[in-house]
């Protein structure tokens, strides 16, 4: 896909126009009892290697709506900015304790918006200090060859320069899986990768002060 300026877009990230081919595949996630997961579209797929072009920083919104983050996963390049507008009629306090970029935006109400710029690759786990059920992920990658699967697990990475790569697939409920691959002048055979989420156990996070949400006396 092309932007208005004619730049090639890979999952919304513009890249310099260059010769390349297309890498396709499918991600499967095994849940408990070997059932296929229904949230495979929340996985992240990317290529690393000496020929991988860097991603271009962008600015996106991750809104708070109905006590949820929308979208729940933001996939961006190093140097990108995320705005957190509040669309709810009550206060939110967006924060993260992830070591790559801890932050605390404080309480702000409807119509307010605060932003964070991420200068280091990593997975930033984002929460609200008011509402325990609110969870989101900001995934920052150096490579510009990044995408997410569709609901059926299928994915496509376009304009991949020839060379040796490592294909990475990650989901918050499963260990990362990698596979070495060589990309030539024609598209390689589709890749199939399976993530194992059968051992995942949900653990409720604590608030920004390390305390349980259940101890709160005030509700919004």
User: Are 97 and 127 within one domain?
Assistant: yes
- The total number of structural domains in the chain stands at 2
CATH number at residue 72: 2.60.40.420
Residue 186 included in any domain: yes
pTM score, two decimals?
Answer: 0.86
Write out residues in the chain with pLDDT < 70, as ranges.
1-19, 217-220
Q: Is residue 216 part of a domain?
A: no
Domain hosting residue 121, numbered range:
59-140
Q: Which of 140, 159, 188 is the last residue of a domain?
A: 140
Report the helix count and the strand count for the chain, using DSSP H and E: 0, 19
Do 89 and 153 belong to one domain? no
Q: Which sign, positive or negative, has the C-alpha torsion 145, 115, 137, 120?
A: positive
159 and 183 fall within a common domain: yes
> 36: domain CATH number?
2.60.40.10
Q: How far apart are CA 103 and CA 84, in angstroms?
A: 12
For residue 132, is it within any domain? yes
Q: Is residue 105 part of a domain?
A: yes
Q: In this structure, are residues 163 and 50 in contact, taking their beta carbons and an 8 Å threshold?
A: yes
Q: Do the domain assignments include residue 37?
A: yes
Using CA atoms of 191, 18, 15, 40 in order, give the dihedral in degrees to the nearest 10.
-10
pLDDT for 3: 39
Give the pLDDT of residue 37.
96
Same domain, 64 and 129: yes
| 19 and 84, same domain (yes or no) | no
Indicate if 126 and 191 belong to the same structural domain.
no
Check residue 192 and report its DSSP letter. E
Residue 24 included in any domain: yes
Q: Are residues 49 and 116 in the same domain?
A: no
Say which residues have a Cβ less than 8 Å from residue 43's Cβ, sequence separation at least 6. 27, 29, 148, 149, 169, 170, 171, 195
Give the pLDDT confidence score for residue 214 in this predicted structure: 87
- The pLDDT of residue 17 is 44
- pLDDT given at position 217: 62
Assess whether 123 and 156 both reside in one domain.
no
pLDDT at 6: 36
| Inter-residue contact 94 to 130 (CB < 8 Å) | no
On whether residue 217 sits in a domain, the answer given is no
């Amino acid at each position: 896909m092309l932007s208005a300026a004619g730049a090639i877009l890979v999952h919304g990230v513009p890249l310099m126009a260059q010769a390349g081919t297309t890498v396709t595949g499918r991600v499967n996630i095994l849940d408990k009892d070997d059932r296929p997961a229904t949230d495979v579209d929340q996985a992240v797929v990317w290529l690393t290697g000496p020929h991988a072009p860097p991603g271009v920083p962008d600015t996106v919104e991750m809104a708070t709506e109905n006590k949820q983050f929308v979208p729940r996963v933001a996939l961006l390049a190093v140097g990108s900015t995320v705005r957190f507008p509040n669309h709810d009629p009550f206060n939110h306090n967006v924060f993260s304790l992830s070591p790559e970029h801890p932050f605390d935006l404080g309480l702000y109400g409807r119509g307010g918006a605060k932003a964070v710029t991420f200068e280091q690759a990593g997975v930033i786990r984002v929460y609200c200090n008011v509402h325990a059920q609110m969870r989101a992920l900001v995934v920052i990658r150096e490579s510009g060859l990044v995408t997410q699967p569709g609901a059926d697990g299928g994915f496509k990475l376009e304009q991949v320069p020839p060379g040796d790569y490592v294909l990475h697939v990650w989901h918050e409920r499963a260990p990362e899986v990698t596979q070495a691959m060589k990309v030539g002048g024609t598209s390689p055979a589709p890749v199939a990768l399976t993530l194992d989420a059968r051992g995942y156990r949900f653990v409720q996070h604590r608030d920004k002060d390390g305390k349980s949400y259940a101890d709160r006396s005030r509700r919004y």
